[in-house]
């Protein structure tokens, strides 16, 4: 392999941008966890898998934030610790993202029932494999300073290791590339199955079109299924590009735009999931707004008074739209 180029210098505006992305991802992942804890009726299996993905993204955002803040210049104990945490959480995030796609494929396309066995398998793979890789990398002293050529200030695989390419692949890149290939295929198959189901029900469409929220819900679900692999690839592709540029010892690896896109792409996965599955999901968004309004009302000093000076007994507001949506919950509304 040709000699490595000089370390990539991080400018203050680059660090601030990536730190902001880390903070937003941390808040977004935290919000996903909170919504799961607040409303037990929304704890469907897809959202349960999304919870574990959010936990991985939460740890990933926190570890990346510390790494970018420190902007390591050499291997140290906290560099190794941060690199180990980010390696474990980032790799786990890949596995949980693919687990969600596999679950949707099994339930929607295959129509196979799923039980606790599949969930246990997802846990064993999505936590076990990243943990095994991380422990081995730390024990063999493969994690350390990487000159920000394959990162944005944080530590990952030490560029001085002779077998660094192998460990870069094991510690993330091979799973990242596999996700690029597997996710689009699974979601294309799911989309084709949905289209065939719609075509089979075409003769009943005039009746179903008069059913409340029938057409909007299915179209929103379809759009979300398409967006999942697109957003994942768009966020992650920049780190893959810099990885190959580093292997080629190309000076383009230090391009400021690539550095920022890499930093945002690696750290904003939790924020993107929050946008899709909280802010763009009507069930969760409506409940979240109702919860915030309720908290604001409870924080007021006293209830309103009538003209006689007595407190009015206000009736709790019933959101009929939320009740209707709750009765119509399905796999699509959960995603």
Q: Tokens in use for 81? A: 């610790």
CA distances from 143 to 83, 104, 149, 240 (A): 6, 35, 14, 18
Q: Residue 172 falls within a domain, yes or no?
A: yes
d(CA 98, CA 102): 6
Helix (H) or strand (E) holding 157: strand 156-157
Q: Residue 188 falls within a domain, yes or no?
A: yes
**Residue owning tokens 């993107």:** 272
Query: In CATH, what number is assigned to the domain containing residue 94?
Result: 1.20.1070.10
Q: Residue 95 falls within a domain, yes or no?
A: yes
**Residue owning tokens 């309720």:** 294
Q: Which domain covers residue 275, as residue numbers?
A: 12-297+320-334
249: left (phi over 0), alpha (psi -120 to 50) or beta: left
Q: Residue 93 falls within a domain, yes or no?
A: yes
> pTM for this one?
0.80
Q: Residue 59 falls within a domain, yes or no?
A: yes
pLDDT at 209: 52
Q: Residue 182 falls within a domain, yes or no?
A: yes
List the single range of 56-65, 137-146, 194-203 with lowest mean pLDDT.
194-203
User: In 3D, which of 50, 89, 92 has the Cα closest to residue 278?
Assistant: 50
Q: Residue 2 falls within a domain, yes or no?
A: no
Q: Residue 7 falls within a domain, yes or no?
A: no
pLDDT at 195: 78
Would you place residue 46 in the very low, low, confident or very high pLDDT band (cuts 50, 70, 90)?
confident
Q: Are 145 and 158 in contact (CB under 8 A)?
A: yes
CB neighbours (10 Å) of residue 122? 20
Q: Are 306 and 130 in contact (CB under 8 A)?
A: no
Number of structural domains (the chain) is 1
Q: Are 254 and 150 in contact (CB under 8 A)?
A: no
CB neighbours (10 Å) of residue 302? 6
- Tell me the average pLDDT across 87-104: 93
- Tell me the average pLDDT across 312-326: 44
**Residue owning tokens 């050499």:** 74
């Amino acid at each position: 392999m040709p000699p490595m180029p000089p370390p990539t210098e991080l400018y203050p505006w680059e660090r601030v941008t990536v730190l902001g992305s880390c903070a937003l991802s941390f808040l977004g992942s935290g919000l996903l966890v909170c919504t799961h804890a607040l409303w037990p009726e929304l704890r469907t299996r897809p959202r349960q898998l999304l919870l574990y993905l959010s936990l991985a993204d939460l740890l990933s955002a926190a570890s990346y934030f510390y790494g970018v803040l420190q902007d390591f210049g050499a291997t140290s104990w906290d560099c190794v610790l941060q690199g180990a945490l980010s390696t474990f959480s980032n790799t786990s995030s890949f596995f949980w993202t693919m687990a969600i796609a596999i679950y949707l494929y099994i339930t929607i396309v295959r129509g196979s029932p799923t039980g606790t066995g599949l969930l246990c398998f997802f846990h064993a793979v999505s936590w076990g494999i990243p943990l095994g890789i991380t422990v081995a990398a730390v024990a063999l002293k493969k994690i350390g300073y990487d000159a920000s050529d394959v990162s944005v200030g944080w530590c990952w695989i030490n560029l001085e290791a002779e077998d660094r390419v192998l460990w870069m692949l094991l510690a993330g890149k091979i799973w990242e590339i596999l996700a690029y290939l597997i996710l689009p295929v699974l979601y294309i198959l799911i989309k084709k199955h949905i289209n065939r189901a719609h075509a089979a029900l075409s003769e009943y469409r005039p009746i179903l079109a008069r059913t409340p929220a029938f057409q909007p819900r299915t179209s929103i679900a379809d759009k979300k299924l398409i967006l999942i692999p697109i957003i994942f690839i768009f966020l992650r592709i920049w780190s893959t590009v810099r990885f190959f540029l580093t292997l080629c010892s190309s000076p383009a690896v230090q391009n400021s735009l690539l550095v920022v896109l890499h930093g945002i792409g690696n750290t904003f996965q939790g924020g993107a999931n929050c946008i899709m599955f909280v802010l763009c999901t009507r069930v969760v968004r409506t409940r979240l707004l109702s919860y915030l309004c309720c908290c604001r009302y409870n924080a007021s000093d006293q209830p309103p008074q009538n003209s006689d000076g007595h407190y009015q007994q206000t009736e709790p507001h019933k959101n009929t739209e939320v009740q209707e949506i709750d009765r119509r919950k399905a796999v699509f509304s959960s995603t």
